[in-house]
Amino acid sequence: MAEEKVTPQFALQRVYLKDASLETPEGANVFTQGWKPDVKLDLNTKTAQLDDTHYEVVLTITVTIKNNEKTALLIELQQAGVFLISGLDAQQMGHTLGAFCPSILFPYARETVDSFTTRASFPPLMLAPVNFDALYAQQLQQRAQQQAADQQASPEETH
């Protein structure tokens, strides 16, 4: 019997803003002080399988801008996408969902952060590009180290 060759498929079906919020905890007081911003960026991704071939990937970005050690601006958003993916092995699927899809979503999130910042009357904030391949590799390495540590901490008993 000849083995059926499966052709990998990948297609972006939809990009959408799933959730977003903007806060200026100091209110108008922030505009009366000198502007020396300290920007902190937190990234996270989450994946959900919708059916046999469709996946939702959600890139969560939290931007905290402090001025004089007080939070001047807080932006939280979830940029999401629906992707058609099939014909990949487990390793390829992990990389696609963990690095490739977030790389596609990031420019949309980046534009939203910049837009929110200027609409809140702050100077533009164009986030630097992110290497999701490196972040994914780091996550895999941390997971492997954690598994090794867990195995050393609780060795199986042999009789």
Residue range 98-108, pLDDT digits in tens: 999 999 999 99
Give residue limits of the domains in the chain.
11-144
Nearest to 77 by CA among 26, 28, 111: 111
> pLDDT value at position 99?
96
In this structure, the strands spanning 54-67 and 70-86 are antiparallel
Rounded CA separation 74/57 (Å): 23
- Residue 72 near residue 37, CB atoms below 8 Å: yes
Structure-block tokens of residue 79: 């940029």
Fold of the domain spanning 11-144 = Bacterial Protein-export protein SecB (3.10.420)
Q: Quote the strand ranges of the chain, DSSP E.
A: 9-23, 37-49, 54-67, 70-86
Three-state DSSP at 25 gives coil
Q: Please give the model's pTM, rounded to 2 decimal places.
A: 0.86
- Cα separation of 84 and 11, whole Å? 5
For 92-136, how does the pLDDT look when each residue is reduced to its tens digit (9 = 90+)?
Answer: 999 999 999 999 999 999 999 999 999 999 999 999 999 999 999
How far apart, in whole angstroms, are the C-alpha atoms of residue 64 and residue 9? 37
